[in-house]
Amino acid sequence: MSEEWSVEDRILVFTPTGRDAALACQLLAGADLPCIPCPDEMAMCREIEAGAGAAILAEEALLPWTVNALREVLRRQGPWSDLPLIVFTRASETNEGILATLGPLSNATILERPVRMSTLLSAAKTALRARRRQYEVRDLLRRQGEADRRKDEFLAMLGHELRNPLAAIRNSLWVLDEVGARGDQDLRQREVIERQTRHLVRMVDDLLDVSRVTLGKIILKRQTVDLEEIVARCLHELGLASLAASHGLTLRVETEPVVVDGDPVRLEQVICNLVQNAIKYTPRGGRLTLTVRAEGNQGTIRMRDTGVGITAEMLPQIFEPFTQVESSRIRSEGGLGLGLPLVRGLVELHGGRVEAQSDGPGQGSEFIVRFPLRLGKKPARRSAFPSSPAIGGGEAAGLSILVVEDNMDGRESLRDLLEIWGHKVDLAENGHEGVEQALAVRPDVALIDIGLPGMDGNEVAQRIRAAFGTNHPLVLIAMTGYGQPDDRRRALQAGFDSYLVKPVDPAYLSRLLGEVGQQLRRRVAS
């Protein structure tokens, strides 16, 4: 036989009497099979970790700690690993008795002593073939895992890269708004661009959030919250009642106070996603019912619709990323198939569960979310939501603002917008220039992109803070495509006062600058 043996084809031999091991090794070596005698179970486990095709054990070696050590080393290798064992027994021992001793290590061939040479060789070769298959499965799983990881990283990067162009488009839209439309046609085109941009922003947000959930990068900001309040917030924020009406649907909402421990922003995301889907997948004339109830020790949200329904085969799949039911894709208003995976990821992060039910196509669907109830604590009224800066309006005008941004469109559209609001604007297109300009201009506010070539935004902020000390009341605002908690923490440590994720909402920015203006005036007055 002229086979190429690898370390993963080695046959380990562990028998308490050295004579058996020496004999078996002699036989295997005679047939050109690679054989390693092991003095004890620990040595055998080490060899298994290094790579092994099969193990030969004498029945006397099958003591409880040996079986446990073997079980543990195979468990560590993963579900693909089920090392073939060849066990030499005494004539008096039954196969059932040996198998009971081995427990879950049931991939065993039992050979009665005295073992015939041809029987041992054929058992060893069969075992090696089976083990090679296991290693092939291991390699396949590794390759798949690697491809999966690369895909997740790519999606996270894609989402981030898409934010820059979106930020520029959004700024330009605001500039057009401020300049004023020239006629009905202008206005209509502008509305189309705005609607579609909003749609794009939502998709990019979903893409980034799903990536963060799968990469384990979402950290919940938990507090005691009332689901009833979150539903109300969600309906109000998105104008869901009128959205449903515009789709010819009736929306019924039945809620009661249900207190859970959760992140209000993420819970709102879950509920909004489910309601938006119900609207999307229900034809005109349909009915939607959203209920929030305390059921036993659980808080339950049910979103029921009379829409297109889901087939039994699709039900288990719709929570997987990128799944879309073929028929619903044709009628849907678009989407990436990321809403439900995000819902599931966020619900599970809260220790809850989500399930979908449907009696089939045309029969409507129901999505049920269950969270553990928070007992004995009332939510802090209204504190559930991050406060937004007070509206500053015209009071913001007249600030000196430095914009440090390497994306040309993003930089210039932001300058136009800020100038329209009445601010004096200076621009820098990289970190070094940003620091120089800041020292030369001494602005009231610096809006600094984090992902700059050469010197990143955090370093720019640090250098500016170090140069100005505490005397100059400069407000540093970070603008970034990376909205993860770690990035935010780093930016705040670097000396930023605020942290905005792109595409920055111009209304929010305007209010923020309004507050800065007021603070500066108060400081000057005192």
Rounded to the nearest whole angstrom, what is the least distance from the CB of residue 334 to ligand ADP in the complex?
Answer: 7
Q: Which is nearer to ligand ADP, 53 or 339 (CB)?
A: 339
**Taking CB under 6 A as the criterion, which residues in 349-378 touch ligand ADP?**
365
Q: What per-residue string of b and e applies to 415-428 under the rule 16 or more CB within 10 Å gives b?
A: bbbbeebebebbbb
DSSP 112-161: ESSPPHHHHHHHHHHHHHHHHHHHHHHHHHHHHHHHHHHHHHHHHHHHHH
Q: 193: which strand partners?
A: none
Stretch that binds ligand ADP, among 22-30, 59-67, 121-129, 322-330 (CB under 6 A): 322-330
Q: Is 337 in the site for ligand ADP (CB under 6 A)?
A: yes
- Dmax over CA atoms of the chain, in Å, equals 102
Is residue 396 near ligand ADP by the rule CB under 6 A?
Answer: no
Least gap, CB of 509 to ligand ADP (angstroms): 29
Shorter beta-carbon distance to ligand ADP: residue 307 or 451: 307
3-state secondary structure of 56: strand
Cα 114 versus chain centre, distance: 58
* Peptide linkage before 165 cis (omega within 30 of 0): no
Nearest distance from C-beta of residue 41 to ligand ADP, angstroms: 50
For residue 461, give the 3-state DSSP assignment: helix
Q: Could you say whether residue 124 binds ligand ADP (CB under 6 A)? A: no
Does the protein bind ligand ADP through residue 200 (CB under 6 A)? no
Interface with ligand ADP includes 308 (CB under 6 A)? Answer: yes
Q: Which residue has the tokens 């970034």?
A: 480
Q: Of 339 and 483, which has the nearer Cβ to ligand ADP?
A: 339
Nearest C-alpha neighbor of 337 from the set 277, 269, 278: 277
Bond prior to 361 in cis (omega within 30° of 0)? no
Answer yes or no whether residue 281 interacts with ligand ADP by CB under 6 A.
yes
Q: In the β-sheet with 85-89, what is the strand arrangement from edge to edge? A: 35-37, 11-14, 54-58, 85-89, 108-112
Non-local CB neighbours of 12 within 8 Å, separated by 6+ positions: 36, 38, 44, 47, 48, 52, 54, 55, 56
**Residue of the chain from 53, 286, 299, 307 that contacts ligand ADP (CB under 6 A):** 307
> Which of the stretches 186-194, 261-269, 334-342, 492-500 binds ligand ADP when contact is defined by CB under 6 A?
334-342
- Single out the residue of 67, 325, 346, 417 in contact with ligand ADP (rule: CB under 6 A): 325
CA angle 156/162/167 to nearest 5° reads: 130
Contact pattern from residue 85 through residue 104 relative to ligand ADP, giving x for each residue in contact according to CB under 6 A and a dash for the rest: --------------------
Residue 345 engages ligand ADP in binding (rule: CB under 6 A) = no
Residue 339 makes contact with ligand ADP by CB under 6 A: yes
Q: Shortest Cβ distance from residue 145 to ligand ADP (Å)?
A: 23
Query: Which residues, numbered 258-277, are part of the site for ligand ADP (CB under 6 A)?
Result: 277
**94 SS3 class:** coil
C-beta of 456: minimal distance to ligand ADP in Å?
Answer: 34
Residue type, 51: G
**In angstroms, rounded to a whole number, what is the distance separating the alpha carbons of residues 524 and 396?**
15
Letters for 220-259 (x = contact with ligand ADP by CB under 6 A, - = none) are ----------------------------------------
318 binds ligand ADP (CB under 6 A): yes
- Contact by Cβ (8 Å): 352, 390: no
Q: Which stretch binds ligand ADP (CB under 6 A): 218-226, 239-247, 307-315, 407-415?
A: 307-315
We find the least distance from the C-beta atom of residue 278 to ligand ADP, in angstroms, to be: 5
Asked whether 509 and 480 are in contact (CB, 8 A), the reply is no
Q: What minimum distance in Å lies between the beta carbon of 352 and ligand ADP? A: 17
Closer to ligand ADP at the Cβ: 282 or 480?
282
Nearer to ligand ADP, 224 or 323 (CB): 323
Size, binding site for ligand ADP by CB under 6 A: 20
Q: Which residues are CB-neighbours of 277 under 8 A, at least 6 positions away?
A: 303, 339, 340, 367
Of 162-191, which residues contact ligand ADP (CB under 6 A)? Answer: none
**DSSP labels for 350-405?**
TT-EEEEEESSTTS-EEEEEEEEB-TT-PPPTTTTSPPPPPP-GGGGTT-EEEEE-
Instruction: Dig out the tokens for 409 from the structure.
Output: 């469109």
Q: Which is nearer to ligand ADP, 172 or 365 (CB)?
A: 365
**Contact range with ligand ADP by CB under 6 A, out of 151-159, 193-201, 330-338, 497-505:** 330-338
Q: Tell me the closest approach of the beta carbon of residue 60 to ligand ADP, in angstroms.
A: 58
Q: Interface with ligand ADP by CB under 6 A: which residues?
A: 277-278, 281, 305, 307-308, 310, 318, 323-325, 328, 332, 335-340, 365
